[in-house]
Amino acid sequence: MMRKLSLLVAGALMGASAMSLVYGVPSSAANAAGSETYKQLAIFGDIFERVRAQYVTPPDDKSLVENAINGMLSSLDPHSSYMNSEQAQDMRVQTKGEFGGLGIEVTMENDLVKVIAPIDDTPAAKAGVLAGDYIAKIDGDEVRGLTLNDAVDKMRGAVNTPIKLTILRQGADKPIELTVVRDIIKVKAVKFRVENDIGYMKINSFTEKTYDDLQNAIAEIKKQVPKDKLKGYVLDLRLNPGGLLDQAVSVSDAFLKRGEIVSTRGRDPKDVTRFDAKTKTTDEIDGKPLVVLVNGGSASASEIVAGALQDMKRATVVGTQSFGKGSVQTIIPLGENGALRLTTALYYTPSGKSIQGKGITPDIKVDQPVPAELQGRDLTRGESDLKGHIKGVEESSQGSGSAAYVPPDPKNDLQLIFAEQLLRGEKTDPAFPPNPDKAVMNQ
């Protein structure tokens, strides 16, 4: 059974990187532990030594310590964790938006890696990898039995190093052997296109390159469509698991002329940080109408953008309830290149609302039907469903999240179609266009 790429992205990234990131150290020093705490630590030390000495098979000391640390952190909330040096490096690669690899978009089908598409002008495309190819072996090792993440890890590696792929291709009478030399792959954080008189921009994640990619997308759309013909823009944040907080702020700023974007609040009531838009005469899309699309796969940084544009009455939000991750993680470097990912604050929209466990409620709800082959599966994504999540101040029994499905063919995308109809005046709704004079601000 084939797993759709859209669902794969929602599931795989939601667990791994549905976060806003702030690099640095905590703003306040930890309090000294009391005597009772040290007694408990002594018990831990005793248990650790007994396991090392008496467990039926010799355990790995490093794994024992790492698992103990992660057990402590996972008891706090689903997004706090310890990253060893390899995991920390993977996280840095994700947020940087480039890595050493081949340049292919893949999914899993029939226990093999299926190529969705090679990225233009990358090693895979130059070597002759085609959309629809199945990768059966990587450097002679069978793909069957590997997870998709394991297979992707094997294909990534140092720049200028070769990798041999054994490919099964429809119409070929025998497997095809290709040698591909890895190179720097720059992942486009923003994809865009022109839909006749509408500019469509999809932000896949918030990496270090997101704002630059967005600026490029806006500039290209303006080149392709004269200003007097352009009806407006669609900003698609569906299936976007989040990423860097500063990039979410920059993206929001691109569409605002003034006002607050987001605030973060830590343990200390005085520990409040506000992020504001730069005051300017016009925004980067010249004040054109804007519709933002969200669903259950829109989390964290994408919710910051949607919440800011909604509260400031700059955009109309269309779709279904977002994921509801309203917490901020600080990445604290540790020894030997490991890192601590610790929840240190909650963020609030300009109106002062916390979306933790609640999510962004769209101005106009538009459901996206799930195809027959996926019906019966639980496609709902939401922070409120995560075990041990921090309960939000506005969280209710309804919880957060909704279905995280986007059709691969835009012709079947009812949420996108509705957004375009709004922009063209083919549909009307009291929520569109919003009135910036009625922006809801936190007092």
> Six-digit token pair at 115?
């190529």
> Six-digit token pair at 150?
């394991």
Nearest to 296 by CA among 212, 225, 378, 359: 359
What whole-number distance in Å separates Cα of residue 404 and Cα of residue 107? 17
Three-state SS for 194? Answer: strand
Q: Residue type at 383?
A: E
Catalytic residue among 133, 236, 246, 311: 311
Catalytic residue among 202, 209, 325, 353: 325
Q: Are 301 and 20 in contact (CB under 8 A)?
A: yes
Q: What is the DSSP code (8-state) at residue 411?
A: G
Q: Residue type at 257?
A: K
Q: Are 351 and 261 in contact (CB under 8 A)?
A: no
Torsion of CA 58, 59, 62, 66, to 10 degrees: -170
For the four alpha carbons of 360, 207, 442 and 259, in that order, the dihedral sign comes to negative
Give Cα separations from 349 to 224, 346, 359 (angstroms): 34, 10, 11
Task: Give the list of residues 6+ apart from residue 358 with CB closer than 8 angstroms, or none.
Answer: 324, 326, 384, 392, 394, 395, 396, 399, 400
Give Cα separations from 44 to 31, 33, 267, 369 (angstroms): 20, 15, 27, 51
Q: What is the helix (H) or strand (E) element at residue 320, kind and residue range?
A: none
246 counts as catalytic: no
Task: Give the list of residues 6+ apart from residue 287 with CB closer than 8 angstroms, or none.
Answer: none
**What are φ and ψ of residue 108, in 5° steps?**
-110, 135
Q: Are 323 and 299 in contact (CB under 8 A)?
A: yes
Task: Give the list of residues 6+ apart from residue 231 with CB closer than 8 angstroms, or none.
Answer: 197, 198, 288, 289, 423, 424
363 counts as catalytic: no
Give Cα separations from 392 to 327, 354, 388, 397 (angstroms): 10, 7, 12, 11
Catalytic residue among 20, 300, 322, 400: 300
300 counts as catalytic: yes
Enumerate the active-site residues.
Answer: 300, 311, 325
